[in-house]
Amino acid sequence: MSDIEYRPIKKVFVANRGEIAVRVIRSCRELGIETVLAVSTVDRESVPARLADRTVCIGPPTASASYLNMAALITAALGSGCDALHPGYGFLSENPEFAQMCVDNGLTFVGPAPHVVAEAGDKARAREIARAAGIPVLTGSPILTDVEAASRAAAEIGYPVLVKASAGGGGRGMSVVENDDELRARFSAAGSEAQSAFGDGSLFVEKYIRRARHIEVQVLGDRHGGVVQLGERDCTLQRRHQKVVEESPAPGLDEATRSRIRASGLAFAEAIGLDSAGTVEFIYDADTGDYAFLEFNARIQVEHPVTEAVTGVDLVRQQLRSAQGDRLEFGQGDVTTTGHAIEVRITSESPRDGFLPRAGTLVRWRIPDADGIRVDTHAEEGYVVSPYYDSLLAKVVAYGTDRDDAIARMLAALSALDVQGVPTTADFAHFALDHTDFRTGHVSTNWIAETGLPEFLETP
């Protein structure tokens, strides 16, 4: 592994938008790296567009014509003299074909090697890697080719089961089925939905955990075989299988389980040969105390700031360093966590309307500024929330000496947030974090749907 090329990055093409574009530009600047930002026609005057050294318009607003247009992005990156490309999260960040195209065109891909991206993007394959590495995996099937095979596999696993798209992401491509009739009714539609949403109709079935917590481990590798884990995040508060609140460390976990989950995360990163930042996701069964591997995300995660807050490590800086061939700046023994951090995703969605994303103009946008508060955002007064993209407006991160302190700071920050023009999830997040169930750590991934939202809707 000593023949790794050291190829310092001078100019990065940022193939994304929104808060993550702002975040990537910040770390590039700190490392003295120039940035060129891809913008669609509606993003020309955006906050990240003003922060970047320059922008290249890559097409009309529709994602398929701009931020998902591989040929346009590569052409723009090469044409503007970039030597590397950062894909952010979402969009093309987990597309192995795109990672390979970057490499083939001489661009350093700021992410894992293309084969790692490919194996991670296939959930069934990732489960096999985890199993082979001795990591607990939920009872489940390989890819299923027909409904009879699915029916046999589900009967063997025992209902309820989850029918999952192997290429799924963003909480989409999953259905809980309670019995054989439901499975048969759902199977073929799930396949066609997965085909049209992810370009791959492969399905498998997996044991469904009713009272689950989502716990994930941040991992980091370099191109010389070095890997470390940076502790776990608890992302249990979710709506539609998508995260709303994340924190680190995970509350109320016994220390033996915490160490085992962290060790499993590290073992997975080693097994897949991780050479960049990634996240190993686990499901924790609150009834049995067991945990199992869910999937691996080969990219920077939305909620990476909570890990940065408790470890002091700048994860985007580490991605850039690993990509240019540097060795990790620290070893496992140097990683320590202090205090507690919580992140709330502020999205332009109305909880009173089933968390439906809403477009509009921010006629008022005042964000909190206080000790221990970090706000990652691309929003500003006058910003037009477009229907074309994700509804994330900002991430508010509160850091405190302990969990209660972090919650108190977050509640104050959420109260100070003043947004007009679109509905946001801030009030609901305030309600949820102030709830006894959250304060005492008694929530599961279904808490919002079953308890939080109904109770919130009853409050005047």
Contacting ligand ADP (CB under 6 A), which of 175, 238, 318, 324? Answer: 238
Question: Among 258, 285, 206, 253, which Cα is nearest to 445's?
Answer: 285
CA 55 to centroid of chain Cα atoms: 25
Helix or strand holding residue 260 (H, E):
helix 255-272
Q: Is 295 in the site for ligand ADP (CB under 6 A)?
A: yes
Judged by CB under 6 A, the stretch of 208-216, 257-265, 363-371, 399-407 that binds ligand ADP is 208-216
User: Could you say which of Mg ion, ligand ADP, none residue 154 binds, taking C-beta under 5 to 8 angstroms by partner kind?
Assistant: none
Q: Is 273 in the site for ligand ADP (CB under 6 A)?
A: no
Using CB under 6 A, which residues numbered 133 to 192 contact ligand ADP?
138, 162, 168-171, 174
Residue 5 beta carbon to Mg ion: minimum distance, rounded to whole angstroms: 32
- Among residues 17, 186, 223, 299, the one annotated as catalytic is 299
Contact between residue 176 and residue 162 where contact means Cβ atoms under 8 Å apart: yes
In degrees and rounded to multiples of 5, residue 318 shows phi and psi of -65, -40
The SS3 of residue 441 is: coil
Nearer to Mg ion, 43 or 281 (CB): 281
CA dihedral 123, 127, 130, 135 (to 10 degrees): 120
Q: Please list, in sequence order, all residues whose beta carbon lies within 8 angstroms of the beta carbon of residue 36, skipping any fewer than 6 positions away.
A: 11, 12, 13, 14, 52, 53, 54, 55, 56, 76, 77, 80, 81, 82
Question: Among 348, 418, 426, which Cα is nearest to 387's?
Answer: 348
Contacting ligand ADP (CB under 6 A), which of 392, 417, 419, 422? Answer: 392
CA 65 to centroid of chain Cα atoms: 23
Contact between residue 428 and residue 420 where contact means Cβ atoms under 8 Å apart: no
Nearer to Mg ion, 94 or 281 (CB): 281
Nearer to ligand ADP, 302 or 419 (CB): 302
Give the number of other CB atoms < 10 A from CB of residue 366. 11
Q: Please list, in sequence order, all residues whose beta carbon lies within 8 angstroms of the beta carbon of residue 407, skipping any fewer than 6 positions away.
A: 342, 398, 400, 433, 434, 438, 439
Residue 325 beta carbon to ligand ADP: minimum distance, rounded to whole angstroms: 26
Residue 195 beta carbon to ligand ADP: minimum distance, rounded to whole angstroms: 16
Residue 117 beta carbon to Mg ion: minimum distance, rounded to whole angstroms: 15
In degrees and rounded to multiples of 5, residue 345 shows phi and psi of -85, 120
**Exposed/middle/buried for 446, CB within 10 Å: 0-12, 13-18, 19+?**
middle
* For residue 112, cis peptide bond before it (omega within 30 degrees of 0): no
Contact between residue 447 and residue 236 where contact means Cβ atoms under 8 Å apart: yes
Contacting ligand ADP (CB under 6 A), which of 23, 214, 321, 403? Answer: 214
Q: Is 202 in the site for ligand ADP (CB under 6 A)?
A: no
Q: By Cβ distance, which residue is nearest to ligand ADP?
A: 90
Residue 235 beta carbon to ligand ADP: minimum distance, rounded to whole angstroms: 7
Q: How far apart are CA 263 and CA 258, in angstroms?
A: 9
Nearer to ligand ADP, 137 or 226 (CB): 137
The SS3 of residue 226 is: coil
Residue 459 beta carbon to ligand ADP: minimum distance, rounded to whole angstroms: 25
Q: Is 376 in the site for ligand ADP (CB under 6 A)?
A: no
Is residue 299 annotated as part of the catalytic site, yes or no? yes
Q: Is 322 in the site for ligand ADP (CB under 6 A)?
A: no
Nearer to ligand ADP, 370 or 449 (CB): 449
Nearer to ligand ADP, 4 or 133 (CB): 133
User: Could you say which of Mg ion, ligand ADP, none residue 283 binds, taking C-beta under 5 to 8 angstroms by partner kind?
Assistant: ligand ADP
Residue 173 beta carbon to ligand ADP: minimum distance, rounded to whole angstroms: 7
Question: Among 308, 389, 243, 335, which Cα is nearest to 27's?
Answer: 308
User: Could you say which of ligand ADP, Mg ion, none residue 331 binds, taking C-beta under 5 to 8 angstroms by partner kind?
Assistant: none
Catalytic positions: 299
- Residues near Mg ion (CB under 5 A): 281
Residues interacting with ligand ADP, by CB under 6 A? 16-18, 20, 88-91, 138, 162, 168-171, 174, 206-209, 212, 214, 238, 241-243, 281, 283, 294-295, 297, 301-303, 390, 392, 445
